[in-house]
Amino acid sequence: MSGLKNDLLLKALKKEPVSRPPVWMMRQAGRYLPDYIKLRDKYDFFTRVQTPELATEITLQPVNQVGVDAAIIFSDILVIPQAMGVEVLMEEGKGPSLPKTIKTKKDIDALNTENAAEHLKYVLDALTLTKKELNGLVPLICFAGAPWTIFCYMIEGKGSKTWDKAKQFAYTEPGLAHQLLQKITAITIDYLKAQTKAGADCVQVFDSWAGSLSPEDFKTFAQPYLTQIADAVKDDAPVILFPKGTWYALEDLSKSSASAIGLDWTVSPKQARAFTNNNITLQGNFDPAKLLAPIPQIKQWVKEMIDDFGAQKYIANLGHGITPNVPVDHAKAFVEAVKEYA
């Protein structure tokens, strides 16, 4: 970890004093950058993910063009189902689909949970190459999807607003649901550990669909697996947990082994600090849609956000991924506003 020219992110994760908060953006490597669109027009999605040179090039774009304080590897959360033997298709503009969903115990028993590093070697190769290219400029973040979110895709077969099928499976077949969640957890832990060996300075676990669960059901089907991952990986690298839409779990999660919790915009900075007793680093929670506002307004809102969170034990970020319609100079303005914070 030494030898970094910019270690603000790692300092914030260790709760060490910083001159200003570090800043990066979820989905910063991708859809809103013209140079990314050129590559997208040339290569299909999984070619971009599975070719280390392309993944590295895409990962470096926002570091060089937007000025963020960390790189996050260009990949996808659905590489885990692929490694488990499930087909994943990705259609531009339509999102993912999994033609063969998990329905029975036999389907779950047939899933592979071994050799994550072998199956996902292309991600690890991209990490190693990116680390070399970064040459200590900023830390490198790697990530995985959380078990509940991956479970949702594997049962549902595609994106959903309500995740009815996934929830029905969890509620009617809880034993099988936990068997599947545990399998996903096991391979995810191996994958994250392999990432840290390949050069990731910290890891983030995206639980994008956690907010579809009630507080009680989150405690049953999501939280135990998030906690298990944080416990298993904490000695390898700092862990950021991002269970979107679960402000009600902040107090519990603040007592976990995670180094930070990512927040969406449904909780205010002051509430989040109160729920977590100010004893963990918080990350977020700017609404990406606000990046479409005029630049002076963006800068004003960013300043207010940092004022509310406080500059220490805080990582400036969005409350979810940056959207494709955000102008690059607006993304830059967000980053600059954090860098200008005094």
Residue 186 annotated in ligand binding: no
Residue 30 annotated in ligand binding: yes
Cα dihedral value 189, 190, 191, 197, nearest 10: 110
Can you read off the two tokens belonging to residue 306?
A: 């940092």
Residue 76 annotated in ligand binding: yes
149 close to 208: Cβ distance less than 8 angstroms: yes
Our answer to whether residue 27 is catalytic in this structure is yes
Residue 320 annotated in ligand binding: yes
Catalytic residue among 32, 36, 153, 191: 153
Q: Which residues pair with 23 in a beta bridge?
A: 316
**Secondary structure, 3-state, 53-99:** HHHHHHHHHHHHHCCCCCEECCCCCCHHHHHCCCCCEEECCCEEECC
Catalytic residue among 35, 43, 76, 217: 76
Our answer to whether residue 40 is catalytic in this structure is yes
The conformation of residue 51, written as its DSSP 8-state character, comes to -
Residue 20 annotated in ligand binding: no
Other C-beta atoms within 10 Å of 251: how many?
12
Our answer to whether residue 20 is catalytic in this structure is no
Output b/e per residue, 43-82; b: 16+ Cβ within 10 A: eeebebbbbbebbbbbbbbbbebbebbbbbbbbbbbbbbb
Spatial distance between the Cα atoms of 212 and 236, rounded to a whole number of angstroms: 30
Residue 204 annotated in ligand binding: no
Our answer to whether residue 48 is catalytic in this structure is no
Can you read off the two tokens belonging to residue 157?
A: 């077969």
Residue 314 annotated in ligand binding: no
137: left (phi over 0), alpha (psi -120 to 50) or beta: alpha
**DSSP H/E element including 144:** strand 140-145
Q: Which residues are annotated as a binding site for substrate?
A: 27-31, 46, 76, 153, 208, 320
Active site (catalytic) residues: 27, 31, 40, 76, 153
Q: Which residues are annotated as a binding site?
A: 27-31, 46, 76, 153, 208, 320
